Amino acid sequence: MSSKLILHVEDNQYNRKIIRDLLSRNGYDIVEAHNGEAALEVLARRCPDLILMDVQLPKLSGLEATRRIRANPLLAEIPVIAITSFALSGDDRLAFEAGCNAYIAKPFRPRELLEMIRGFLGS
């Protein structure tokens, strides 16, 4: 059985490394993008099994990138988990309205994120 591919969209290099290490240790393949525009470029070439989308991104926000993903019939069914460090009241609603399937706020426990991912992709 091949590994599941996860696109991680995050502008902070340190956060990308933390998630990359966590996912790699748990058997996932990872492709990364540093902003929403770069994520769309990756998606033009590769179709991941799941997307981890930071909400606050330069050039194109994570929510706007998610709207564009949902508008593309070839990508619309890919689960998107919104990740944010600004867990304000109503942020989860905005993420769901943009098309995200789930929402998690930083800081989070690694096990919490892995359980969420497994909920979409299976064990």
CATH class for the region spanning 5-121: alpha beta
What are 92's two structure tokens?
């989860």
3 state SS of 31? strand
Query: Is the bond preceding 79 in cis, omega lying within 30 degrees of 0?
Result: no
Q: 123: pLDDT confidence band, cut at 50, 70 and 90?
A: low
6-18 pLDDT, tens digit per residue, is 999 999 999 999 9
Q: How many beta carbons lie within 10 A of that of residue 26, not counting itself?
A: 14
Query: Which residues lie across from 52 on neighbouring strands?
Result: 8, 81
42-90 pLDDT, tens digit per residue, is 999 999 999 999 999 999 999 999 999 999 999 999 999 999 876 665 6
Distance CA 84, CA 95 (A): 10
Place of tokens 């508008």: 71
Residue type, 93: R
Q: pTM of the predicted model, to two decimals?
A: 0.94
